[in-house]
Structure 1
Amino acid sequence: MTGIPTGSRPIARPSCRRHALALVLALGLLAPPLVLSAPAHAAGNLAVSPTRVDLGETGTATIAVRNDGDEGSVLQVSAMRWLDSPMPDALEPAPEMIAVPPVFTLKPGAQQVIRLALRDRSRPPVERSYRLLITEVPAPASGGAQSGGVRFALGFNVPVFQRAPGALADPVWTIQSAVGGPILAVRNAGQAHVQVSGIAVQDDAGRSLAQVKEAFYLLPGRSRSWPLPAAAKGGLVTVVADTNLGTLEERLAAPRD
């Protein structure tokens, strides 16, 4: 289950929902077919596939939500700009993206395809990053208000990218000196995101100094850093990172002070 910011709202206002639907249906003819074999992420009895969306040259895409439970669910969809990484909740509404349907009921065993479309389909100079929030509208638990029960809402926070033509990620690794000891830092100097699934830091003899088991995205221009043990000071350090670019290996000199 992914935390969803409160106060989310469907991106298409009621007054323009019919126009938005027509636009998405038109663009949907150009959207790539839904890949049902793509990895799915589950929250409770709900599952979403794919778990990451790439908007192609048409600026359109699809994503499916499936209900494997025994009860129906009402779901709300909100398209958001992703402002910072790795924080998936650094968001603001994205009126340039249409998500249809913005609200729907999903019966047990049913699947709903959500169609995404950008109003402006021009290609950006730097990759644009979004998050699609698919949130279950909470309903009273069995027994209703008299029992005081509440059914917790489930939700998904799916990354959506519009890549710039020829844009590539460029992770730059450094070891910096700080008051508390050396710090491993990485900055994405490229024009597209990099996805990191794990980092291992070794000394010159191949002994493990540190491991980062956290998986995260790093958007263009963003940085991350982690403290290293004092044993890294003044030596040669090898950083091995598992990423969507493959396994990256960088050999760095750690400062003494």
Structure 2
Amino acid sequence: MQPACPRARGTAPRPLRRAHWGLLLLAPLASAGNLQVAPILLEFSDGVQAQALWLENNGDQPLHAQVRVQHWTQSDAADVLEPSQMLLARPAIVQIGPGQRQLVRVLRPAPVPTGDPQEQAYRLLVDELPAPHVKPNQGLNFLLRYSIPAFVLPAGASPRELGSKAATDTSGLHARWQLDPGLLTLTVHNTGAQRVRLSQLRWLPENGPPIELTPGLLGYVLAGQHMQWTLPLPHPFPLTGTLQARLNDAAIPQPLRSADL
């Protein structure tokens, strides 16, 4: 889970271009976070034209929410989101009563092109909307935002999230890293047909125990794209070693293949 992403009522949202995305982004709320969303990831395989997204209100007042679809790519080592009609959220704006749930159907209006070798990535941005009875001058209030990954799989591919916990094929994943005083710069290029999620990054020195660098999620590298992260290093840090990460839902960390990108 990524750090909080607050958005004040009455202000324009920040540009949707970030270096790191988690499965879920939460903003701290005066209302104690009454909007809940499930599931936290969607996949569309062959023949699947719709998926269910559930929005739940755990509070004691009605709430309003909006679901927007963004095409997700990676450029200049950053995530880029752009509005898209390739997936549709119906209904896109909802009112949910206290203790109630609302079904939002996420639709894929067109089948996957048979010649498309790579999966397409999207983000479903679920925003809590300002309550109509609260005036802007009644103080600063923060609204929830969830960012839900959604993937349209290439023809013939199996859903990755329902697969086994076996080791991920790393033949299409190539990494390069640079060690500077106090910093590690890691670039990962994914030439495969599906995304790779990296977490639990650690450094394996030639001598000594592993050094944990990111205990949780590091981020995604989308199919056919690359990402870069700069991470602080503890001091002292052994300069000779290699990197491991947990890839997707593999049970154990795997070495990152070092290559010139």
The TM-score, its normalising length taken from structure 1, stands at 0.70
Q: What is the CA–CA distance in structure 2 between the aligned matches of 1:59 and 1:248, rounded to whole Å?
A: 34
Which residue does the alignment assign to 1:105?
95
Q: Deviations over 1:147-184 (max 9, x none)?
A: 63343221211111111135677322334477998744
Q: What is the CA–CA distance in structure 1 between the aligned matches of 2:26 and 2:54, rounded to whole Å?
A: 12
Q: What amino acid maps onto 2:43 in structure 1?
A: D
How far residue 131 of structure 1 moved from its aligned partner, in angstroms, is: 0.5
Q: Is the 8 A contact 2:187 2:226 kept in 1?
A: no
2:125 to 114, 123, 133: 133
Distance 1:203 1:103, change over 3 A: same
How far residue 192 of structure 1 moved from its aligned partner, in angstroms, is: 0.9
How far residue 141 of structure 1 moved from its aligned partner, in angstroms, is: 7.3
Q: Deviations over 1:181-214 (max 9, x none)?
A: 8744322221211111210102111334551235
1:218 to 218, 221, 241: 221
Q: What is the CA–CA distance in structure 1 between the aligned matches of 2:257 and 2:112, rounded to whole Å?
A: 40
RMSD between aligned alpha carbons?
3.6
Q: Is the 8 A contact 1:141 1:150 kept in 2?
A: no
Distance 1:177 1:74, change over 3 A: closer
Q: Deviations over 1:91-145 (max 9, x none)?
A: 1110222110011100001101110112211243211000111111112676x46
Which residue does the alignment assign to 1:60?
50
1:249 aligns with 2:254: yes
Following superposition of structure 1 onto structure 2, how do residues 59-208 of structure 1 map, counting pairs within 5 Å? 59-84=49-74, 90-123=80-113, 124-139=116-131, 144=135, 148-165=138-155, 170-176=172-178, 183-208=185-210
1:6 to 3, 10, 13: 13
Following superposition of structure 1 onto structure 2, how do residues 17-32 of structure 1 map, counting pairs within 5 Å? none
Q: What amino acid maps onto 1:250 in structure 2?
A: P
Which residue does the alignment assign to 2:161?
none
Which has the bigger relative contact order, CA under 8 A and spacing at least 6? 2
Distance 1:232 1:183, change over 3 A: farther
Which residue does the alignment assign to 1:33?
none
Which residue does the alignment assign to 1:239?
243
Following superposition of structure 1 onto structure 2, how do residues 31-46 of structure 1 map, counting pairs within 5 Å? 44-46=33-35
Distance 1:40 1:207, change over 3 A: closer
Identity of aligned residues (%): 25
Q: Deviations over 1:205-240 (max 9, x none)?
A: 13345512351122122122446678544x3x2322
**Larger helix percent:** 1
Distance 1:112 1:252, change over 3 A: closer
Q: What is the CA–CA distance in structure 2 between the aligned matches of 1:7 and 1:177, rounded to whole Å?
A: 32
Q: Is the 8 A contact 2:118 2:194 kept in 1?
A: yes
Structure 1 stretch displaced more, 175-184 or 221-230: 175-184
Which residue does the alignment assign to 2:38?
49
Structure 1 stretch displaced more, 149-158 or 244-253: 244-253
Distance 1:42 1:150, change over 3 A: closer
Unaligned runs of 5+ residues in structure 2 are 16-22, 28-32, 158-168
Q: Deviations over 1:10-63 (max 9, x none)?
A: xxxxxxxxxxxxxxxxxxxxxxxxxxxxx9997601111110111122232111
SS at match of 1:84: strand
